[in-house]
C-alpha cells in the first residue's frame, strides 16, 4: 500500500515522457535556415494563442535537427505539448505549418 503513490507517480511521468517524445518530422521553408526555424518554432510554441486562451499549461517545446542516419538531411523534428487537466494537446503540426514548414513525406 505504501508503494501506491510512488508507483502512480512513476507511471504518470512515463506517460508524460512518451507524450513529449511525440516528434513530427518537417521540412523547414527554403528561405529559413535550420537554426532560425528551430528558434522560431520554440518561441511560437511557448506563446501559442489557442493553448493560452484555453488555460492550458505548457509541458514542452522542442525542435531539433535531424538525427544522424535516422532522419533525412535538412529535416527538423518538432513537438509542442500543452496540458489541460489530464488531457495532452499537441500543436506541433499547427505551428510548423504556420511557420511555412511542410510535413516530410
d(CA 50, CA 48): 6
Range of the structural domain that residue 71 is part of: 4-103
Which three cell numbers, joined as nine digits, stand for 95? 505551428
For the segment 56-86, what is each residue's pLDDT rounded down to a tens digit? 999 999 999 999 889 999 899 999 999 999 9
Q: What is the pTM of this model?
A: 0.79
Length of the chain equals 105
Total structural domains within the chain: 1
Work out the average pLDDT over 22-42. Answer: 96
What are the DSSP calls for 38-94, one per residue?
HHHHHHHHHT-HHHHHTT-EEEEEEEE-PPTTTS-TT-EEEEEEEEETTEEEE-HHH
Amino acid at each position: 500500500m505504501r508503494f501506491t503513490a510512488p508507483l502512480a507517480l512513476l507511471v504518470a511521468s512515463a506517460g508524460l515522457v512518451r507524450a513529449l517524445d511525440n516528434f513530427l518530422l518537417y521540412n523547414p521553408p527554403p528561405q529559413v535556415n535550420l537554426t532560425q526555424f528551430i528558434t522560431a518554432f520554440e518561441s511560437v510554441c511557448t506563446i501559442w494563442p489557442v493553448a493560452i486562451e484555453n488555460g492550458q499549461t505548457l509541458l514542452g517545446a522542442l525542435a531539433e535537427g535531424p538525427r544522424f542516419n535516422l532522419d533525412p538531411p535538412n529535416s527538423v523534428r518538432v513537438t509542442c505539448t500543452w496540458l489541460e487537466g489530464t488531457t495532452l494537446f499537441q500543436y506541433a503540426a499547427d505551428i510548423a505549418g504556420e511557420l511555412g514548414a511542410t510535413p516530410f513525406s
